[in-house]
Amino acid sequence: MGKQEIKVLGGVVTYNPELTRFKENLSTLCNQVDKLYVFDNGSRNISTIESVIKQYSNNIVLCKKKTNVGIAYALKSIMEYAYRNKFNWVLSVDQDSVLDSHLVEKYENVISNYNKDDIGMLTCLIKDRNFKDSSVETQVNELEEVPICITSAAFTNVKNYFSTLGYDSNLFIDFVDTDICLSLREKNFKILRINYLGVYHEIGHGENRRLLWKKIIVHHSSIFREYYMSRNSILLHKKHPNFYSSKIMLKGLVLNFLTITFFEKNKIKRYIKYFKGIKDGI
């Protein structure tokens, strides 16, 4: 596929975004895509979001929901819009991410030199400002296959996406990106990473910590997410037993429990959500 044939839809899911960062997001995104689809999940500041969008481009479609229907439902809607309007690729971006101005160009270079029919998703190196991460500086190969990637800055092949059941709305939030990556791999599509620093973002107030001999990242996520992290880990094992083994599942559940125990506040409330998630997952 030549570059001139590529039609790219940008997709952003908003939920009470911090407006300064959202503006940065739009300024780096709008010039790289043919159209931008913003799915708002019931933000309290929706009127301000609308006014910000009007400042940047009239080539932005805004879908407004009155309540939060979840990140998975929103991403599914973005992909369906792309399919209906004959976009080849979707660049999904978190509301708090800031893209490198050449990211789509880098992705298109890969597509023009690789069999696009084999690609499920492209990703890049991603730097979270909260964390020290030497991996950004230590990559050797320009392109390599990876098992999973996060949604932000993912470049999804629309045709190959629809060979799967797509994003799972039941997951709501957490492991949504892992689930779609595993679904694509089960159909023998590749998740490829260009080793190029393509996006900066900042999620919450996370920090690097050490648990015994292991370095871990503590995200300090909202308490309600403890439920989805434990429940969805079990659901992922049920859906993808060959790619998300019981060992991987149990390791993640234990790590979450220890993280709550040693590093989080509101432990009792978090334990309640955590164990309810396990119960519902089982």
The DSSP secondary structure of 94-132, one letter per residue, reads ETTEEE-TTHHHHHHHHHHTS-GGGEEEEEEEEEETTS-
Domains of the chain: 3-201 (3.90.550.10), 207-281 (no CATH)
**What's the token pair of residue 46?**
């929706």
Tell me the per-residue pLDDT of 248-263, one tens digit each, with 9 for 90 and over. Answer: 999 999 999 999 999 8
User: What pLDDT, on a 0 to 100 scale, did the predictor assign at position 72?
Assistant: 97
Tell me the per-residue pLDDT of 67-96, one tens digit each, with 9 for 90 and over. Answer: 999 999 999 999 999 999 999 999 999 998
User: What pLDDT, on a 0 to 100 scale, did the predictor assign at position 3?
Assistant: 46
Gap between the Cα atoms of 47 and 139, Å rounded: 43
On whether the CB atoms of residues 121 and 156 are closer than 8 A, the answer is yes
Q: What is the pTM of this model?
A: 0.91
Burial class (CB in 10 A: 0-12, 13-18, 19+), 149: buried
Residue 2 pLDDT grade (very low, low, confident, very high; cuts 50, 70, 90): very low
Tell me the per-residue pLDDT of 156-166, one tens digit each, with 9 for 90 and over. Answer: 999 999 999 99
Mean pLDDT calculated for residue range 55-60: 84
Other CB atoms within 10 A of residue 116 CB:
17
Q: Which residues is 9 bridged to in the sheet?
A: 35, 90
User: What pLDDT, on a 0 to 100 scale, did the predictor assign at position 133?
Assistant: 54
Ramachandran category for residue 215: left, alpha or beta (phi over 0 → left; psi -120 to 50 → alpha)? beta
The SS3 assignment for 193 reads: strand
User: What pLDDT, on a 0 to 100 scale, did the predictor assign at position 141?
Assistant: 75
User: What pLDDT, on a 0 to 100 scale, did the predictor assign at position 142?
Assistant: 87
Residue 33 has pLDDT above 80, yes or no: yes
Q: Which residue has the higher pLDDT, 114 or 211?
A: 114
Tell me the per-residue pLDDT of 192-240, one tens digit each, with 9 for 90 and over. Answer: 999 999 998 765 566 767 776 677 676 778 899 999 999 999 999 999 9
The mean of the pLDDT values for the chain is: 90
In SS3 terms, 79-90 reads as: HHHHHHCCCCEE
User: What pLDDT, on a 0 to 100 scale, did the predictor assign at position 206?
Assistant: 62
Mean pLDDT calculated for residue range 3-18: 88
Mean pLDDT calculated for residue range 253-282: 95
Q: Which residue has the higher pLDDT, 130 or 156?
A: 156
Phi, psi of 14 (to 5 degrees): -110, 145
On whether the CB atoms of residues 121 and 193 are closer than 8 A, the answer is no
Q: Which residue has the higher pLDDT, 170 or 210?
A: 170
Question: What percentage of residues in the chain have a pLDDT greater than 70?
Answer: 90
Taking only Cα atoms into account, the Rg of the chain, rounded to an integer number of angstroms, comes to 19
Residue 134 has pLDDT above 50, yes or no: no
User: What pLDDT, on a 0 to 100 scale, did the predictor assign at position 57?
Assistant: 76
Largest interatomic CA distance in the chain: 56
Residue 116 pLDDT grade (very low, low, confident, very high; cuts 50, 70, 90): confident
